[in-house]
Homo-oligomer: A and B are copies of this chain.
Amino acid sequence: MHQPIPADIDIARHASMLPIGEIAARLGIPDSALEPHGRVKAKISLDLYRGLRAGPQGKLVLVTAITPTPAGEGKTTTTIGLTDALARLGKKAMLCIREPSLGPCFGIKGGAAGGGYAQVVPMEDINLHFTGDFHAIGVAHNLLSAVIDNHLASGNALDIDPARVVWRRVVDMNDRALRQIVVGLGGSANGAPRETGYDITVASEVMAVFCLSESIHELKERLGRMIVAYTRDRRPVLASQLKVHGAMAALLKDAIKPNLVQTLENNPALVHGGPFANIAHGCNSLIATRMALGLADYVVTEAGFGADLGAEKFLDIMCRQSGLVPDAVVLVATVRALKMHGGVAKADLGRPDAEAVRRGLPNLLKHLENIQAWGLPVVVAVNHFTADTPEETAAIEEACAALGVKAVRADHWARGGEGALDLAGALLELTGGPRPALAFTYPGELPLWEKVRTVARRIYGASDIKGDAKVLKAFADLEAAGFGHLPVCLAKTQYSFSTDPQLRGRPEGFTLAVRDVRVSAGAGFVVVLTGDIMTMPGLPKVPAAELIDIDEEGNITGLS
Contacts and interface: CB of A to CB of B under 8 A. Distances in A.
A70 B139 CA distance: 29
A244 interface: yes
A150 B38 CA distance: 35
A246 interface: yes
Interface string A161-187: 000000000011111111111111110
Nearest to A144: B545
Contact of A247 (B125, B143, B254, B549): B549
Nearest to A171: B142
B128 A251 contact: yes
A541 interface: yes
A195 interface: yes
A128 B181 contact: no
**Interface size for chain A: under 10, 10 to 19, 20 to 34, or 35 or more residues?**
35 or more
Contact of A184 (B136, B149, B177): B177
Contacts of A343: none
A250 B559 contact: yes
Contact of A250 (B37, B128, B139, B543): B128
Given A36-B38, A139-B172, A177 B154 contact: no
Contacts of A558: 246-247
B171 A178 contact: no
Nearest to A157: B541
A189 B539 CA distance: 11
A109 interface: no
Interface in A194-247: 194-195, 197, 215-217, 220, 243-244, 246-247
A173 B139 contact: yes
A548 B36 CA distance: 26
Contacts of A516: none
Contact of A186 (B172, B180, B552): B180
A386 interface: no
Given A38-B35, A172-B139, A216-B551, A244 B545 contact: yes
A175 B145 contact: yes
A183 B178 contact: yes
Given A37-B37, A38-B35, A142 B106 contact: no
The main secondary structure of chain A at its interface with chain B is: mixed
A412 B277 CA distance: 54
Contacts of A246: 548-550, 558
A179 B190 contact: yes
A102 B140 CA distance: 11
Given A36-B38, A139-B135, A250-B548, A176 B150 contact: yes
B46 A38 contact: no
Contacts of A39: 35
A541 B154 CA distance: 6
A173 B171 CA distance: 12
A546 B240 CA distance: 10
Interface in A328-384: none
Interface string A236-273: 00000001101101110110000000000000000000
A545 B143 contact: yes
A244 B183 contact: no
B173 A142 contact: yes
Contacts of A310: none
Contacts of A180: 184-186, 190
A43 interface: yes
A474 interface: no
A169 to B, nearest CB: 8
B139 A549 contact: no
A109 B284 CA distance: 36
Contact of A253 (B106, B194, B554): B554
- Complex A-B, nearest 6 residue pairs according to Cβ-Cβ distance, in ascending order: A180-B186, A246-B549, A135-B135, A132-B132, A149-B177, A146-B175
Interface of A: 35-39, 43, 46, 102, 106, 124-125, 128-129, 131-132, 135-136, 138-139, 142-143, 145-147, 149-150, 153-155, 171-186, 189-191, 194-195, 197, 215-217, 220, 243-244, 246-247, 249-251, 253-254, 538-539, 541, 543, 545-546, 548-552, 554, 556, 558-559
10 contacts: A38-B43, A102-B139, A128-B251, A129-B136, A171-B171, A181-B185, A216-B554, A246-B549, A247-B546, A250-B548
